[in-house]
Amino acid sequence: MGYEAIIAAAGRGERLGLGIPKALVKICGKTVVERVVDKFVKFDKIRNIYVAVPPGYEPTIGGLLSKYGDRVKVYTGGTVRQESIHRGLKYISDEYVLIHDVARMMVTDKLIERVMHAVTKYDAVVPVIPVRDTIKEVDDSKVLRTLSRERLYIVQTPQGFRTELIVKAYEKAQQEGYHATDSASLVERYGVAVSTVEGEVSNIKLTYGGDVRLVECMLMVDKQC
């Protein structure tokens, strides 16, 4: 039984408005991609970590990550996340794979451990947190209905999969021209049950400029900044 990991870090980070890819944004003196890789290299059971990077940034990000040795490898990502992950899956040979977004740099060791443990039982696992706010379906600025929160959850990464299962799901999606916003959606579409583990409220996704300041404050509280 072995694990490998794919980190989706090929996004341009345009919504952050900083003019550089999200992976290269420095927070408290260290780039986002380094902070994420730091979390995964701790786990000896994760044999290889593959990092999808924006085209043209292979030398820059590869240089930053060279300190980790051959265990961490960069490759050229695609124009969309799904394409980047599909390319990375071609390198995976171990039984299980973890797929994580570089934007979630506050992921903890405990969350990674929960996913690693659960995937050996359920083959497809995602971390989730319950929706706290009232959710309304809106069309053309008009509320259509209010959704019940009881069965609504926010999905996070890392997501864990039996490699054979997720590879088949991505290959079918490519053949059919189907696009999804996360890896688990591809598995669900082909009739495979996806199990959940407890996510973390602190595992936020860097999307907008204000998120950078929020993460800085979180790091300061944890005395990591």
In this predicted structure, the answer to whether residue 191 has a pLDDT above a threshold of 80 is yes
SS3 56: coil
- Domain-located, residue 143: no
Q: Which of 23, 28, 80, 77 is nearest to 50 (CA)?
A: 77
Flag whether 139 is in a domain: no
pLDDT of residue 17: 66
H helices then E strands: how many in the chain? 7, 12
Q: Is the Cβ–Cβ distance between 116 and 47 less than 8 Å?
A: no
C-alpha–C-alpha distance, residues 177 and 183, integer Å: 15
Is 178 inside a domain boundary? Answer: yes
Structure confidence by residue, pLDDT tens digits, 210-225: 888 889 899 888 777 7
Tell me: pLDDT of 137 over 90: yes
Q: Is 130 a domain residue?
A: no
pLDDT score recorded for residue 50: 98
Q: Scan for tokens 């003019």, then name that residue.
A: 19
Reference 161, options 169, 152, 153; nearest CA is 169
- Specify the amino acid at residue 45: K
Q: Which residues are bridge partners to 118 per DSSP?
A: none
Residue 112, pLDDT > 70, answer yes
Q: In 47-182, which ranges are continuous DSSP H helix?
A: 58-65, 81-89, 109-122, 163-176
3-class state of residue 190 by DSSP: coil
Whether 205 shows a pLDDT value over 70: the answer reads yes
Work out how many domains the chain is built from and give that number.
1
pLDDT at 209: 81
Residue whose C-alpha is closest to residue 68's, from 7, 111, 158: 7
Query: 111 lies in a domain?
Result: yes
- Per-residue pLDDT tens over the stretch 141-173: 999 999 998 899 999 999 999 999 999 999 999
183 occurs within a structural domain: yes
Q: What share of the chain is helix, strand, coil (3-state, %, to 5)?
A: 40, 25, 35
How much is the pTM?
0.94
Q: What is the pLDDT of residues 1-31, one digit of tens each?
A: 799 999 999 987 777 767 789 999 999 889 9
Full domain range(s) for residue 213: 3-124+156-221
99 lies in some domain:
yes
Q: In this structure, what CATH number is given to the domain that contains residue 97?
A: 3.90.550.10
| Inside any domain, residue 151 | no
- pLDDT, one tens digit per residue, over 38-83 is 999 999 999 999 999 999 999 999 999 999 999 999 999 999 999 9
Q: Among residues 65, 68, 47, 67, which one has the least CA distance to residue 57?
A: 65
The whole-number average pLDDT for the span 161-187 is: 95
